[in-house]
Amino acid sequence: MSDKKELSFEDAMEKLEEVVAKLEQGDVPLEEAISMFQEGMTLSKLCHDKLKSVEDSMDRILHQDGKVEHTTFQEE
């Protein structure tokens, strides 16, 4: 699904929300629901990967002397 990798985080989230909303309606035929679920999982992974990339970037704090310090943020 290379076209999914071209989506921005915001576009992927919007599509994921559409998929979830349709599935929550409960009137989607089984075969279509399975396909939509797979699409949702792909979109979810894309969003997760993009967030992880941003988190990795934010873990690096640039100091005034130009040195880069790698830190990790802990989840609460």
Note the pTM of the prediction, 2 decimals.
0.71
Q: Is residue 74 part of a domain?
A: no
Q: Is residue 31 part of a domain?
A: yes
- 60 vs 1: which has the higher pLDDT: 60
Total domains in the fold of the chain:
1
- Give the model's pLDDT for residue 41: 97
Q: Is residue 72 part of a domain?
A: no
- CA 38/CA 51 separation, integer angstroms: 20
Q: Is residue 29 part of a domain?
A: yes
Q: Is residue 75 part of a domain?
A: no
- Give the model's pLDDT for residue 59: 73
3-state secondary structure of 46: helix
- Give the model's pLDDT for residue 55: 80
- 37 vs 67: which has the higher pLDDT: 37
Q: Is residue 59 part of a domain?
A: yes
- Give the model's pLDDT for residue 4: 46
pLDDT at 16 over 90: yes
CATH number at residue 22: 1.10.287
pLDDT at 1 over 90: no
* φ, ψ dihedrals at 63, nearest 5°: -85, 165
Q: Is residue 4 part of a domain?
A: no
Range of the domain at 47: 9-65
